[in-house]
Structure 1
Amino acid sequence: MAAVTEVAPGPTSRPDERHRRGKARWAVLAGAAVVALVMLVPFVIMLLNAFKSPSDYSQHGPLSWPQEVYTQGLKNFWDRTDFPVKLLNSIFISAVVSVAGVVLSLLNAYAIGIGRIRGRLWVVTLFLLATMLPQEALIYPLFTMAQKVGLSDSQWSVIIIFTVIQSAFGTYLLASVLGTFPPALLEAAQLDGAGRWRILWRVVLPIVRPTMVVLMIFFFIWTWNEFFIPLVMLTTNDTQTVPVALASLQGDRMMDAPTTNAGALVSLLPALIFFLIFQRTLTRGVTAGSVK
């Protein structure tokens, strides 16, 4: 008579545990939906008031539905600020900073993470501390240096400043990534006769490219939203950016609330469109970086 062996059943989740897990997921989704709605409230109010006449705004307040579609506020903001010029200035500054900041971050991180320079930990800590410095503490020496080198009221002064500021964070991030780089890949490349530059462009760059794309998107959006340093450095209408133009016009000409909301809406749209275009690229970059 053959012996019968009993196979122990595998671990299965109990129905009550699955039920609790499902309730927890629904609670998290509900909380995320509430947070999303709360964050959307200011944008909805801005959108309502952008197409509301000044008389309608004064009579019914900012939370009422527009009695008619009022587009004169958009036209006033467009004409008073010479918005196309400000838009091109913001795009130019943000694009150059995003590219230059990522390239500088890669070179710094390659020297720190792969080159293993002396005092690597202190250098990375210095870059981390540099990202925490308030702009108010830097603006006076930066403004003085810009005047002495002939970059007063020049877009290149803002580009240089933000390239250095953004690359401080990029260097800290990429140096942390390259610090865990597989030594076997580097040794194999060196055995094949590859030099440092060839290792950088042929071995290191393809692996950290997703992280660099994420940094480039962040640098563009961060630079686009910057206000204080461009406000001090750029003093003429031909060099100012969109946030500076919106704030200076509001204080100079005392615009009404609907025109201010219309200007904020027009100023927000380019950055929003840029984010939507590169949303999938951003998601792929974060996922690829986490897998590698």
Structure 2
Amino acid sequence: MTTEPVVLAPPAPSRGTARTPVVQRTRDRNHRGAVRWVVLAAAVVVAVAMMVPFAIMLLNAFKAPGEYSAEGPLSLPSSLYTDGLVAFWQRVDYPEKLLNSTLIAGSVAVLATLVSLLNAYALGIGRIRGRMWVVALFLLANMLPQEALVYPLYFLAKETGLYNTQLSVIIIFTVIQSAFGTYLLASVLSTFPPSVLEAAALDGASSWQVLWRVVFPIARPTLSVLLIFFFIWTWNEFFIPLVMLIDNSTQTIPVALASLQGDRLMDVPTINAGALVSLLPAVVFFLVFQRTLTRGITAGAVK
């Protein structure tokens, strides 16, 4: 007599057990959603706090001096006062200062990015001897305050005949900005895939061809970010241009804006109108290249 084996079916999952993973996923989703809303609210609060000084500047740029003295900086203007804007435009020769600032900031941005790429290519991919010491030297140079550099720079500019010329400011800030760019790009290029370089070497590519045909296209997003940052940083520089540029025809916008403030008298509406007009080119430049900046940061994050 043969007995058939008895197959026991697994117990059916209870209703509570089947529902537990769904409830857990729902709780995780709700928790992540709450955290996102908290982060978004905090970002909005920080953005509003950062925009408050710009809003006050905008209010006082179109407010009459008498109204500013009587009602203070936080009151709304009763009428649109544009004499401060006209006075700033005429007193500092704004088109000339705009051309000077654009020339200096644009030249520094391009040259500093190029120098940073060449230095980082030698340090990150060339693997020169003493690479870490050289990178540390660039980092140290980037940490030095401008007040410690201004007298040697002033002396060298005097000796070389470059004092009171825009070329002196371009050279100085090209070196200063490229110190940071070299430190950043050297760390990025040090992680460059060796297989790509080996393939290019097997194809007979020289060092310059590897740089411009292999490394440059891949590092272009990072270079675009550096270019934007270098332009904005140089545009806002004040101390070294104040020391190096003494003629009215060579000065930049920040230096011309500071010249409106006297020792005992300050025309607040004119200064606010000048600050507003001086800020607009940098804001326009940032908005034009905003997508480039976003793509560069995203590409670096993906890598």
Which of 212, 220, 223 is equivalent to 1:212? 223
Residue 114 (structure 2) pairs with residue 114 (structure 1):
no
Match of 1:100 in 2: 111
Shift of 1:254: 3.7
Which of 195, 198, 207 is equivalent to 2:209? 198
- Letter aligned with residue 203 of structure 1: V
Match of 1:124 in 2: 135
**Structure with bigger gyration radius:** 2
Give the Cα separation in 1 of the matches to 2:54 and 2:75. Answer: 14
Shift of 1:268: 0.6
Partners of 2:154 and 2:244 within 8 A in 1: yes
Match of 1:176 in 2: 187
> Aligned ranges for residues 60-75 of structure 1 at < 5 Å?
60-75=71-86
Match of 1:276 in 2: 287
Give the Cα separation in 1 of the matches to 2:42 and 2:189. Answer: 37
Secondary structure of the residue that 2:251 maps to in structure 1?
A: coil
Which of 147, 151, 155 is equivalent to 1:144? 155
Match of 2:197 in 1: 186
Partners of 2:260 and 2:267 within 8 A in 1: no
Residue 297 (structure 2) pairs with residue 286 (structure 1):
yes
**Larger deviation, residues 254-263 vs 193-202:** 254-263
Number of equivalenced pairs:
292
Superposed CA offset, 1:32-62 (max 9, x none)? 1111111111000000000000011111110
Superposed CA offset, 1:78-113 (max 9, x none)? 000011100000000000000000000000000001
Match of 1:165 in 2: 176
**Larger deviation, residues 72-81 vs 23-32:** 23-32
Tell me, which stretches of 5 or more residues in structure 1 are unaligned? none
Match of 1:49 in 2: 60
Give the Cα separation in 1 of the matches to 2:42 and 2:135. Answer: 37
Residue 33 (structure 2) pairs with residue 22 (structure 1):
yes
Match of 2:271 in 1: 260
Give the Cα separation in 2 of the matches to 1:53 and 1:232. Answer: 33
Match of 1:133 in 2: 144
Give the Cα separation in 1 of the matches to 2:25 and 2:192. Answer: 42
Counterparts in 2 of 1:201 and 1:4: CA distance versus 1, 3 Å: farther
Give the Cα separation in 1 of the matches to 2:126 and 2:293. Answer: 28
TM-score normalised by structure 1 residue count: 0.95
- Letter aligned with residue 264 of structure 1: A
Partners of 1:208 and 1:289 within 8 A in 2: no
Percent of matched pairs sharing the same residue: 68
